[in-house]
Amino acid sequence: MSQWVIKGLRTGVKSTRYPRAEETAAGISPGLPTAATLPLEVAQSLVARCPADALELAPAGVDVNLRRCIHCFRCVRGTNSPLGWEHSYEWATAVSGGNDQKRQFGPAFDRSVHILVVDTGDCGACLNEVRQLNNPYYNMHRLGFFLTPTPRHADVLLVVGALTDHMRVPLRKAYDAMPSPKRVVAVGACALSGGIFGRSFMCAGGVAELLPVDVEVPGDPPPPLAILHGLLVAVGRKPPARLHRAVSDSVGNASG
Amino acid sequence: MPAERKQVLDEVAARWNGRVQLSPEDGSESAYRLECEPAELSEVCNWLFSDLHYSFGGLVVEQLTRWELRYVFYGGPGAGWLHVLTHLAPSDYRVPSVSRLVHAADWHEREVEDLFGLVFEGHPRLGDFVLHDDAWHEGVAPMRKSFDGRQPVTHRAPDQNWKPRQIVEEAGAFLMPIGPIYATATGPVHFQLETVGEDVIRVQPRLFYAYRGLEKIAEGRRAEDVLLIAERISATSAFAHSLAVCQAVERICHMEVPPRARALRIFVAEFERLRHHVAAIEGICESTGLAVAAAQASILEEDLLRLSCVLTGHRYLFGLGTFGGLTINLDDSACNRAAAQVREVAEKLSRLERMLSISSSFLDRLEEVGHVSAGEAGDFGLVGPIARASGVSRDMRKAQPYSGYDQIEFEVPHESEGDGYARLRMFFREAAQSVRIISTVGQAVPGGQVRAPEVSFRPGAALGWVEAPRGAALHWIRLGEDGVVDRYRIITPSFANWHGFRLAAENFAFQDFPIILATFALSVHENDR
C-alpha cells in the first residue's frame, strides 16, 4: 500500500488559502447578478424575464434579491440589455432574530465545530457542493469544521433542500436531538425560499418555516467557498454579507 | 419502415387479429402505438418484454377525457418505440397489473396507484410508496387534475403506531433501520435491513423523502420554466434531463436544431457523463476507506466542476439548454481548451485505475460482491452502466440515437460479471469513451448558429429521451395552448436502478452494504423527483 502514500505526497498541497487570502482560481463560483440603473422599459423587461422573482423594479432601475436567484442567467443571456454579473463567493448573511443567548457560540467553538448535514429535498447540487468541502481543494478540516453523522455530536445543523412534507419530522427530530448551543445554517435558494420548487403541496418553501435559521447562504447551488463563508459567519469568524442589493447602493461592494 | 419493425407489427396484427389497433404515434417516425383493451394488456406487454426482448421504458398515465395508460417499450434502432395504450372510463379506476409478468413495471404501478389513485389488480404490494402511509392523507391522489398542487396541505401528525413490515422470521432476525438522515452528507433515504447474524437477508429502501412533486408543479407552467425544473431533478445529470425535455418540445413544435447546437449538446452531455463517473469512482473509493484514492478522484471531480463553470458559467451546467439549441455559444477555442483539459483528467484517471487494479485490499471488497446476473438485470429493467456491468448492453445513444450520436464513432462497453468490480470498471471504461467523444466532437464543431430562431409553441405531446449518466431517461411532455404544460412525466434511470438495488445487496454481509450502495451510484433526488 506504500504506493498510495507516495501518490498522496507527490500530489502536494492543493488547499485554498481562503479565508486568509482571497481565492482567485477560475470556475469556483457561478457568480450573481448585480443591481443596475436602467430605463424603466428595460428594467421592466428584465424583471419579467426572471422566473424566480429575484429581480425587483426600483425607481432608478433593477434591484436584486439574491436570496431568490437561481442562476438561470436569463437576465444576462438572450437579452440586449444584460444586467451586470460579479464572480464573488462571500454570500452568507446572518439572520436577525438569531440573537438568543442560548444559541450563541463561545470561544470553545473557534476551532472545533461539528456539522450535521440534512438534505430536506434538494436536487443534489447543494449537497454535492457541501461534499466538495472535504476535497483537498477546500479541506475544511484545517479550519476546525467536521461533518458528523449524528445530531448528538452536532453544533451546527446545515440544511439543504426545499423542506418536503416527508422530511419535516426527521428534520425536527434531528434539531431537537442536538445539544445547545446550536445554530442552523440554511444553504441554497431552496432552503431559503423554496427556490424553483416554491411553496406547494409537498414543499414548505424554506427551512425557516420549521426551524429558526441563523445564517443564510444563497445560490443555486452556492459554491463550496460560499458555504464555507456561511460556516465562518455562523461561528463569528467572518463578517456576513448583505443579500439585498439595491441600485441606490454603490453597485458591486455588497459581498463581504 | 425498417423490416424489423414491420415484422413485429405484422405479427401483432396476426396474433391479436383486430383486438390490438395499430397506428403511428403522432409526429414521430420511430414510434408506433398499440391500442388494446385492459384485458389484453398483460399479454401484449409480456410478449414484447419477454419474447421480443424490448426494454420497458416506463408507464405514462394521463387524465385526458378518459384515463390513458401508456406503457412505453423500445428496442434497437430497427425496432424503434412501441407504445402500448389502454383506456379507462373517467369513473373507472381498476386495471389489471402487468408487473406479475413484466417485473420492470412493478414500481411504476406502485407510483401510479399512490399518485393517481388507480388500482392495479393482482399487484402484490400497493400502498406506502411515494406518499408515506404514516404522514400522507389516505385516499388523496395528488396527481389527479382535481387536486390543486399549488396549495399547501395540512400536515398530518405522524402515526406513532406505524411500523415497517418485517418479513424475515428466522430466529435471531433483526430489522436494522438506517436513515433517512445517516452518514455524512447523503441524500435522504431510509433502509430497512433485515439481518440474521452477519448477513443482510432482505433490503427494503424506503424512498421519496425528497419527493418534491415535480410532475405536479410543472402542470400549468410555461415550458421554459419546466426546463428549470428538469435541470433540478438531479443536479449531477442536469444537462441530460434538460436535453430530454428540449428534444420532446422540439419534436412537438417541429423545431430544427442547428448542427452546431447538436454537436455542442453532445460535447456537454459527455462532459457531464465524465464528471458523474468520476464522482461515482470517488464514492466507491471512499466507501472502501481508501482515502488517498478518494482524494485523487475528488480532485478530478472539482477540476471538472471548475471547468464546467469556466466553459458554461455554471458548475452544474444550469441555464445552458434551451429549446432549439443552447443559450450561449461555446466558441471553438474554448472547446479545444476544454477538450485538452479533459484529456489531462483522463490521463490521471487511467493512472488511478491502474493503481486501483493492483490494490488487493481494495479489490477484495468489490470482487464477487453485490452480484446482479444478466437475467435479473433484464427482469428488473436496470439501465445504464449498472445494467451494462451485468451484460445488458442497451444504450440510448446507440439504440435510439439522438442529437447526431449515430454519426460519431464510439463504443458502448459492457462487462459480464455483474459484481462491484465490474461496475467500477464500467465507470472507468465509459469515462474513457466520453473523453474520446469529447475529443472527436471538440475538434470539428460545425459553424453557424447555436440556437434556432424564436420558438412557436404548438399543442401536442411527445417523448424525449437521452442516455443520462446513470442510464435511460424518458420525459413525456404534453403542451396545451401557448406553451403551457398540461402533463409532464419524468422517468429516470435512478428509479429503475433503485428498484433493482436489493438484488445486489441481499445475501451479502452487513459491512458490504455501503460498498454495494456506492457501486450502484444511485441518486435519491433523481429517483424521488
Q: What is the ipTM of this complex?
A: 0.91
Q: What is d(CA B246, CA B260) in angstroms, rounded to the nearest whole number?
A: 16
Would residue A27 count as lying in a domain? no
Minimal CA separation from B509 to chain A, in Å = 22
Confidence of residue B310 (pLDDT cuts 50, 70, 90): very high
The cell for B439 is: 475529443
CB-based contact (8 Å) between B167 and chain A? no
Q: What mean pLDDT do residues A182-201 have?
A: 91
Whether residue A158 sits in one domain with residue A135: yes
Whether residue A121 sits in one domain with residue A146: yes
Q: What is d(CA B285, CA B279) in angstroms, rounded to the nearest whole number?
A: 10
Minimal CA separation from B343 to chain A, in Å = 18
Whether residue A98 sits in one domain with residue A74: no
Q: What is d(CA B81, CA B426) in angstroms, rounded to the nearest whole number?
A: 27
pLDDT of residue A1: 66
Convert chain A into a string of H (helix), E (strand) and C (coil): CHHHHHHHHHHCCCCCCCCCCCCCCCCCCCCEEECEECCHHHHHHHHHHCCCCCEEEECCEEEEEHHHCCCCCCCCCCCCCCCEEECCCCCCEECCCCCCHHHCCCHHHCCCEEEEEEECCCCCHHHHHHHHCCCCCCCHHHHCEEECCCHHHCCEEEEECCCEHHHHHHHHHHHHHCCCCCEEEEECHHHHHCHHHCCCCCECCCHHHCCCCCEEECCCCCCHHHHHHHHHHHCCCCCCCCCEECCCCCCCCCCC
Q: What is d(CA B192, CA B178) in angstroms, rounded to the nearest whole number?
A: 6
Among the partner residues B136, B213, B318, nearest to A200 by beta-carbon distance: B213
Whether residue A97 sits in one domain with residue A83: no
- DSSP letter assigned to residue B165: P
Residue B320 has pLDDT above 60, yes or no: yes
pLDDT of residue B132: 86
**Which H or E element spans position B59?**
strand B55-63
Other CB atoms within 10 A of residue B411 CB? 12
Interface test with B, best of A166, A199, A227 (most B CBs within 10 A): A166
Residue A80 or residue A185, greater confidence:
A185
Instruction: Please judge whether A30 and B305 are an interchain contact, meaning their C-beta atoms are less than 8 angstroms apart.
Output: no
Q: What is the mean pLDDT of chain A?
A: 87
Minimal CA separation from B284 to chain A, in Å = 15
Q: What is d(CA A120, CA A162) in angstroms, rounded to the nearest whole number?
A: 6
Would residue A187 count as lying in a domain? yes
Beta bridge partners of A116: A157
**For position A226, which CATH number holds?**
3.40.50.12280
Q: What is d(CA B475, CA B226) in angstroms, rounded to the nearest whole number?
A: 11
Whether residue A101 sits in one domain with residue A82: no
Tell me how many domains chain A contains: 2
Answer yes or no: CATH 3.90.79.10 is held by domain B3-121: no
Give me the residue spans of the domains in chain B.
3-121, 173-206, 214-528
pLDDT of residue A98: 53
- DSSP letter assigned to residue B62: E
Whether residue A217 sits in one domain with residue A136: yes
- DSSP letter assigned to residue A223: P
Which single residue is written with the C-alpha cell 403522432?
B26
Q: What is d(CA B254, CA B456) in angstroms, rounded to the nearest whole number?
A: 9
Q: What is d(CA B111, CA B189) in angstroms, rounded to the nearest whole number?
A: 17
Name the 3-class secondary structure at B175: strand
Q: Closest Cα to residue B34, out of B21, B25, B47?
A: B21
Would residue A243 count as lying in a domain? no
The cell for A231 is: 460556516
Q: What is d(CA B169, CA B178) in angstroms, rounded to the nearest whole number?
A: 20
First to last CA, chain B: 36
Nearest-by-CA chain B residue for A3: B355
User: How long is chain B?
Assistant: 529
With contacts defined as CB-CB under 8 Å, which chain B residues touch A122?
Answer: 210, 525
Nearest-by-CA chain B residue for A116: B184
Whether residue A106 sits in one domain with residue A74: no
Interface test with A, best of B232, B236, B323 (most A CBs within 10 A): B232
pLDDT of residue B67: 94
**How does pLDDT run across B21-48, given as a tens digit for each residue?**
888 887 677 788 988 999 889 999 999 9
Among the partner residues A119, A129, A149, nearest to B187 by beta-carbon distance: A119
- Chain Cα centroid distance, residue B129: 18
Q: Are strands A36-37 and A55-58 parallel, antiparallel or unpaired?
A: unpaired
Whether residue A104 sits in one domain with residue A83: no
Q: What is d(CA B392, CA B104) in angstroms, rounded to the nearest whole number?
A: 14
The cell for B488 is: 409532464
**How does pLDDT run across B109-126, given as a tens digit for each residue?**
999 999 999 999 988 877
Would residue A248 count as lying in a domain? no
Whether residue A143 sits in one domain with residue A228: yes
**How does pLDDT run across B355-377, given as a tens digit for each residue?**
999 999 999 999 999 999 999 99
Beta bridge partners of A183: A156
With contacts defined as CB-CB under 8 Å, which chain B residues touch A200?
Answer: 149-152, 212-213, 216-217
The string of DSSP letters for A188-208 reads: SHHHHH-GGG-S-SSB-SSGG
Is A31:A86 a contact under the CB 8 Å cutoff? yes
Among the partner residues B299, B322, B328, nearest to A136 by beta-carbon distance: B299
Beta bridge partners of B84: B34, B71
With contacts defined as CB-CB under 8 Å, which chain B residues touch A29?
Answer: 309
Q: CA torsion sign, B312 to B521 to B163 to B138?
A: positive
Q: Where are the beta strands (DSSP E) in A150-189?
A: 156-160, 183-187
Nearest-by-CA chain A residue for B231: A123
Whether residue A140 sits in one domain with residue A47: no
CATH architecture observed for domain B214-528? Orthogonal Bundle (1.10)
With contacts defined as CB-CB under 8 Å, which chain B residues touch A25?
Answer: 306
Among the partner residues B216, B292, B526, nearest to A201 by beta-carbon distance: B216
Whether residue A225 sits in one domain with residue A117: yes
Confidence of residue A35 (pLDDT cuts 50, 70, 90): confident
Is A185:A108 a contact under the CB 8 Å cutoff? no
Would residue A217 count as lying in a domain? yes
Instruction: Please judge whether B181 and A118 are an interchain contact, meaning their C-beta atoms are less than 8 angstroms apart.
Output: yes
pLDDT of residue A251: 45
**How does pLDDT run across B42-62, given as a tens digit for each residue?**
999 999 999 988 999 999 999
Domain of residue A60 covers 32-87
Q: Closest Cα to residue B281, out of B301, B267, B305?
A: B301
**For position A51, which CATH number holds?**
3.30.70
With contacts defined as CB-CB under 8 Å, which chain A residues touch B135?
Answer: 165-166, 169
**How does pLDDT run across B64-111, given as a tens digit for each residue?**
999 999 999 998 877 889 999 999 999 898 999 999 899 999 999 999
With contacts defined as CB-CB under 8 Å, which chain B residues touch A11?
Answer: 295-296, 299
Whether residue A181 sits in one domain with residue A123: yes
